[in-house]
Structure 1
C-alpha cells in the first residue's frame, strides 16, 4: 500500500480513529495483532494526542477548516509503517501507510462545491489521483433521515471517479464507525447486510450499482470499543466538544478498540 485517503462526513471519528490506531503501538486483538511505527512528526504527535486527550477523558479536536487550513498542504500528513500478524501460521504483513486527515465538511461539499472552492478541488484531485490506491470511508449516522443524503453524496463521488477513470482501479473500504453503540453493535459481524442493508439501504444500493464488487468491502469499526466480552456496554460517553457533540473514553483501563486494522489489511492485500 502506498497512499490512501481517510474520508467521511463530520463527526465520523476520523481523527479519533487515527489517534487510537497510533496509540496502540503494540496491539493484540482477537483475530490479529499489529505494531505501528510513526515515520514523521505529524504521526508521532497523534500518539501524544491520544495520551493527553483520550486517556484523560477528553474529546479529540476534529480536523476542520479555519484560520490555519486553506489548502490541502495545510492539513496534517501522516506516515506509518504497520506490521500485522494474523492467525497461527499466517505470514506477517507490512503496510506502508501515507495519508491526510481531511475535514468532514470538505467531503460533504462534494454535492454543492463551487469552482471557487479551491480546497475542495484539491481534495478531489488528491483523493483520486493515480497513485492513490483507495480510501477508508467512514460513516457514522445511521438514522434513515441520512440515507438519501449519503446516497446522493456517494452518487456524485462515483461520477467524479468515473470522470477520472478510477471506477475500475480504486478500492473502497466502507466503514460504519462508532459501532460500539448498543443499537448497532450486534450487526458488526455482517455490516453489509445487518447495518448498511438495514439502516442505509439507498446508500448501499448506490454503492453496489456503481463500483465493481471486488473493489468494495464493508466493515464495522469502533475506536473506543465496549467494556468487555461479557459487558457490551459502549466504552464511550457523550460530551460537548469544540463543535458541539463529541465522544470520550468511559473507562481507560478497559480501552480495547474493535476492527481498527482489518480495513487497512484489505486495502493493502486487494489486487486490482
Structure 2
C-alpha cells in the first residue's frame, strides 16, 4: 500500500530495492522523540558522502514533522512535548520513505534501497505512567496498537543514567506486556537509542553504542540482553543526535542548553545553517532489514 504513494524524484535508471517497517517510538518525556522524527523528516544539510539520498514525507503527518522542523527547530525553538492521547486513533502516524544508495560501494552503485516506514511516537506519559497501571483500558489500547509493530525504538536521553532503575521497571512492564499479547510468537526487534549524543559526555563514545549503553544504563542493558537470550527477539544499540555538532577538529554541540537535571537535558538548535544530525537512520535501517549498515553510523 505504501509503495503507490511514494514517488521519489531520483534517477529513473536506478533499480529500487524495497523494505518496510511499522515502528513505535517509546521513551520518557525528555527523550526527544518528536525532535528526532522532525530532524529525520527534514534531513537538513545532508553530506554528499552520506548513504542517505533523501527523505520523503508520504502523508499529512509526515508533512507536519517537516513544518515542525522549519517553524520551530530552525528558529531556535523547542518542539512541544507530545501529549498523552486518550484515544490511540488520535496518535499521529508518520509515513516516510528513506532512500539510500546501495551500501556496497554505494557511490558507484546503480541500485537504491527504499525504507518505507510508518511510525508513531508515544507520549512520555505512556512510558512513565500508563505502563505502571495493572488494569487500565488505556494501557490495553496502547498495547493493542503496539502489537502489530515490527520494531520498537526505545529512546532514552543519554544523560539520564541516574534513572536507570526507574526506566528498567518500565522496560520490564513493556516486555512482559508484549510477550503476553503476542499470540503469533513474533520476534520483534528493539533498538535502544541513546539521544542527545552531541553532548561532550556522550560524543566521545558515539561509535561504541553498546559499550555506552551498558556503561550508562547497566540495568536496562541486562534486561534487554536477557530478553534476547531467551529468544524473545533481537536487540541492537544506537547513538543519535538530532542537532549534531559544529567544527572540524574541535567539536562543539550545535545546541544551546536550556535545562539540565536528573530528568535529562533540554536544548534548542544553535545554528540552523550548520544543522546536520547524526545517526538518525541507522536504527530504522536495522529494524527494517535486520542488518546493521556501518556507513550510517559514521559522522
Contact 1:167 1:211 in 2 (8 A): no
Residue 25 of structure 1, CA deviation: 7.0
Q: CA RMSD in A?
A: 2.4
Q: Normalised by the size of structure 2, how large is the TM-score?
A: 0.80
Residue 26 of structure 1, CA deviation: 7.8
Partner of 1:150: 167
Classify the secondary structure of the residue corresponding to 2:206.
helix
Gaps of 5+ in 1: none
Gaps of 5+ in 2: 1-19, 292-299
Contact 2:21 2:287 in 1 (8 A): no
> Which segment drifts farther, 251-260 or 82-91?
82-91
Aligned counterpart for 2:191 among listed residues 170, 173, 176: 173
Partner of 2:154: 137
Partner of 2:249: 230
Distance 1:108 1:30 in 2: 39
- What pairs up with 1:101-250 in 2 under 5 angstroms? 101-109=121-129, 111-116=131-136, 118-129=137-148, 132-165=149-182, 169-193=187-211, 195-212=212-229, 215-239=234-258, 246-250=266-270
Distance 2:87 2:46 in 1: 34
Deviation track 1:59-94 (CA, whole Å, cap 9, x = no partner) reads 1111112xxx32111121111122112352464211
> Which segment drifts farther, 18-27 or 145-154?
18-27
Q: Normalised by the size of structure 1, how large is the TM-score?
A: 0.88
Residue 126 of structure 1, CA deviation: 1.1
> Which segment drifts farther, 207-216 or 133-142?
207-216
Distance 2:45 2:181 in 1: 38
Deviation track 1:118-167 (CA, whole Å, cap 9, x = no partner) reads 333221111123xx211111111544421111222212221112212377
Contact 2:93 2:118 in 1 (8 A): yes
